[in-house]
Amino acid sequence: MNKILCLIAGLLLISFHTLAAEDQLPFAIAIHGGAGTIEKSSLTPEQETAYRDKLEEALNAGYAVLDEGGDSLDAVVAAINVMENSPLFNAGKGAVYTYDGTHELDASIMDGRTREAGAVAGVKRIANPINLARMVMEDSPFVMLSGAGAEEFAKSRSVRMVDNKTFDTERRRKQLDKAREKLDRENKQDNDYKASVEALPISSRVGTVGAVALDRHGNLAAGTSTGGMTAKRYGRIGDSPVIGAGTFADNRSCAVSATGHGEYFIRYNVAADICARVQYQGQPAAAAAEEVIHKVLLPVGGTGGVIVLDADGNIAMPFNTEGMYRGSRSSGGAANTAIFKDE
């Protein structure tokens, strides 16, 4: 009897110590809502407040999960859902239009503990694509599902499906009309399309959302969700659903979510490159991210930014554009949000 009591007391002591140790561990979340030509003069005070409030709401949704001892994956999804459900961002509700006047959404998520990942590309009827990406990761033998197949998969799961028109917004429609006018004027042939798309104002795609989180158990996760680029055609897929390009997480290095001109982020394997520098060169995450954004991407014309979080809770959010909607909150601290360069 005494032995059993001793054993129980011992086990309780061990779990108490584990819990106490976990209580001490740092946890953190960082989010972005897209990078681009965001200058103070381009936003009214009301718009600026609306963005800051929504960023804070997203941060706090993710933070609450972490504070209660929840998983980094849950925190990432909670934060991204808030932004997907808002018309302010180019993801879910506020997604940009394709050239043909529809919406095609991309998203991906990665678990830094196991390096498992899930992604969906070109989905048209999924209200919260990040949720479906997570189901692909946890509930299918695949990493990336696209278009009709992804929706077929969604139908057999409890995923909120909506009409494509649900994503219609006046503001994004105006951006499409402008972009189409420019493309149609300049595009005599498809070959000219590349140059014309490159010349489209960055503002026509700003608003991709992403989150990176570190939980009390020391696990990192990253996720990204987007409507892609205004006036995209031919089933174009950007970097956001591409693991290694727009999203990456590995407990041994860092978690990254990217936003910017997707073609460059794919070609330069941006998210994985940052984590590789951390893991193999021993660079601090902030230095690795700065280098990739400013010294690798910028010289070749790749515009955008990243949010990065390492296993010690260090956060970096570099970008090479005028601004990036962003925010972070670390254990015990308050939520910080920022939009412009000099904040």
| Active-site annotation, residues | 208
Residue whose CB is less far from ligand ASP, 121 or 276? 121
Q: Residue 92 or residue 228: which is nearer to ligand ASP going by CB?
A: 228
* Stretch touching ligand ASP by CB under 6 A, among 3-11, 138-146, 232-240, 280-288: 232-240
| CA 38 to chain CA mean position, Å | 18
Residue 326, strand partner residues: 32, 338
Q: From CA 76, how far away is CA 157, in angstroms rounded? A: 20
131-190 residues in contact with ligand ASP (CB under 6 A) are: none
* Binding letters toward ligand ASP, positions 249-268, x by CB under 6 A: ----------xx-x------
With beta carbons less than 8 A apart as the criterion, state whether 285 and 274 touch: yes
Contact residue for ligand ASP among 113, 172, 205, 326 (CB under 6 A): 205
Amino acid at 307: I
Does 104 bind ligand ASP (CB under 6 A)? Our answer is no
Shortest separation between residue 102's beta carbon and ligand ASP, angstroms: 15
Give backbone dihedrals phi and psi of 200, rounded to 5 degrees, phi first. Answer: -65, 140
Crossing angle for the helix pair 129-139 and 147-155, nearest 10 degrees?
80
Nearer to ligand ASP among residue 238 and residue 318 (C-beta)? 238
Q: Give the whole-angstrom CA distance, residue 209 versus residue 52.
A: 14
Contact between 226 and ligand ASP (CB under 6 A)?
yes
- What are the tokens at 226? 């987007």
| CA-closest candidate to residue 304, choices 326, 284, 322 | 322
Query: Per-residue string for binding with ligand ASP, 17-56, x by CB under 6 A?
Result: -----------------x----------------------
Beta carbon of residue 339, minimum distance to ligand ASP (angstroms, whole number): 15
For position 321 contacting ligand ASP by CB under 6 A, the verdict is no
Binding mask 50-89 for ligand ASP (x = CB under 6 A): ----------------------------------------
Among residues 225, 240, 253, 320, the one that binds ligand ASP under rule CB under 6 A: 240
Q: How many residues bind ligand ASP (CB under 6 A)?
A: 13
- Shortest gap between Cβ of 228 and ligand ASP (angstroms)? 4
Member of 29, 66, 220, 229 binding ligand ASP (CB under 6 A): 229
How far, CA to CA in Å, does 287 sit from each of 15, 90, 278, 316?
A: 37, 28, 9, 9
Which tokens is 215 given?
A: 């939980």
CA distance 223 to 109: 4
In the complex, the smallest distance separating the C-beta of residue 91 from ligand ASP, rounded to whole angstroms, is 9
Cα angle value 45/58/316 (rounded, 5°): 90
User: Shortest approach of ligand ASP to residue 226 CB, angstroms?
Assistant: 5
The one-character DSSP state at 311 is T
Round to whole Å and give the CA distance between 39 and 49.
14
Lookup: tokens for 35: 């990078």
Q: Which residues are at the interface with ligand ASP (CB under 6 A)?
A: 34, 205-206, 208, 226, 228-229, 238-240, 259-260, 262
